[in-house]
Chain A
Amino acid sequence: MDTDSPLIAALARDLDGSFEALVLAHQDRLYSIALRLLGDPRDAEEAAQDAFVRAYRALSGYDHARIRELRLRPWLATIVLNLCRSRLARRPAPGRRALSLDVPLPGDLEPRAEEAHGPVATTVARAAAADWADLLLTLPPAYRSAVVLRHVDGLSYPELAAALDRPEGTVKAQVHRGLALLRTSFEAAQRREREEMTA
């Protein structure tokens, strides 16, 4: 399963000689994680760069045995996740978009029960990546992290549990809850769009 095994062996042998390979192999995922958690490309690049720098410094202090035991994917995910969390904590509070889940919807206009899964599913497929990225940013941070690591980055549940340092059951629940919130949020946005068109 672990495609990083040769890389880990190389890192243990010659950190300076193989660190670039680590960066090239993992830069897209660390950047994508940061971008989907933070929303801003510059912030995301800084967070990803910082994560690699911290990884390098940590690896410099590890002995061979410790490097060989590393699970690179969740380990790097944890580093970038923590950096994103502290960046989010430093940000000034307001500035949430209009897409917030907290906006009450005039539910009586279009009865929820009549909304079949089919049409939603097809529009889901058509929605632009940018819309999904915006919707993700409206999720509460714990759900956002879980969904991003599981479904954007593609960590397995055991890896996700390691990255978030929580039991597998807990992270599974967070992912499912996050996806459910996303779907609700998406459908609400769709409804608003239709209302605007028919208004």
Chain B
Amino acid sequence: MTTDDRDLEAAMAGLMTHAPATLAPGVLAEVGLADRYARFDSPIGPLVVAWNGLGVSTVEAASDDAAFEASHLARTGRPAHRVDRLAERLASAIARRLDGDRRVRIDLDLRGHTDFERDVWQKALEIPRGEVRPYGWVAAEIGRPKAVRAVGTALGHNPVPLIVPCHRVVRTDGSIGQYSLGGPGNKRTILAAEGLDPDAMEAAARAGVRYVGSDTTHIVCLPTCHAAKRITAAHRVPFRSLDRAAAAGYRACRECRPSSGAVAA
């Protein structure tokens, strides 16, 4: 080997360089071994959204960074690294979803949660914007009609509120109920932003109205079902129970399926 061969080889060896500091965190986030997080403005104030290559893992009220990183690590076992903003596509997908567009796909990273919890959250995803369902309805729909309390607990543990709309699940007695993302006040704000009137809903529930039928179609619905909202005042018939509706010759709506978790008179 001549001298300049060795020099040439040394010159080539000198072209080894250091990877940018962003490379390893980028890889770990992409494969789902670490998360990124950023702040996101919502109708109920600033939120923190964390995500990785598998999907969104966390939505919660913004706290200070160190506290969030510690709780995220404790809950998921993954470090979270702050970035300036949500990835463009994710931000627009979340905005569209909050606007009521259910077709927009948002991948979720729900590793570490039970099948039951996932079933509950999946069912909550099916509730349209501007409508609510009772806890018992969710329990019945996922084939666990007796697990009403467990449904409430699973919804309370929803790691991605707003995206999985657990705010659309209310107590069987018609009251708004608890909310993990900053308490019941926020739940009312979000439901109002989605076009519902929480006060009127609760007032009707207190008056014993659990179902609403139309005397022209003889179909009975949950009160916030989009079909029920189209019934004019003159044709709106309130019911306390499905038994009474059935006795009056009404059949259950196939959209909102009021017989799931039905209340006996």
**Which residues of chain A have a CB within 8 Å of any CB of chain B?**
16, 19-20, 23-24, 27-32, 35-36, 41, 45, 48-49, 52-53, 56-57, 117-118, 120-121, 124-125, 127, 129, 132-133, 136, 147-148, 151-154, 179, 182-183, 186
Contacts and interface: CB of A to CB of B under 8 A. Distances in A.
Interface stretch (B21-29, B66-74, B96-104): B21-29
A114 B27 CA distance: 52
Contacts of B14: 129, 132
Contact of B33 (A16, A124, A151, A153): A16
A27 B22 CA distance: 11
B120 to A, nearest CB: 26
Contacts of B2: 117
Contacts of A136: 12, 15
A153 B10 CA distance: 12
29 contacts: A19-B28, A19-B33, A20-B24, A20-B33, A23-B24, A27-B24, A30-B19, A32-B19, A35-B17, A36-B15, A45-B19, A45-B22, A48-B19, A48-B23, A52-B31, A53-B53, A57-B31, A117-B3, A117-B4, A120-B4, A121-B4, A124-B4, A124-B8, A127-B11, A132-B14, A132-B15, A148-B12, A179-B9, A183-B8
A49 B31 CA distance: 10
B230 interface: no
B7 A45 contact: no
Contacts of B254: none
Contacts of A183: 4, 8
A14 B15 CA distance: 33
A41 B18 CA distance: 11
A77 to B, nearest CB: 13
B28 A45 contact: no
Given A53-B30, A183-B4, A41 B20 contact: yes
A49 B7 contact: no
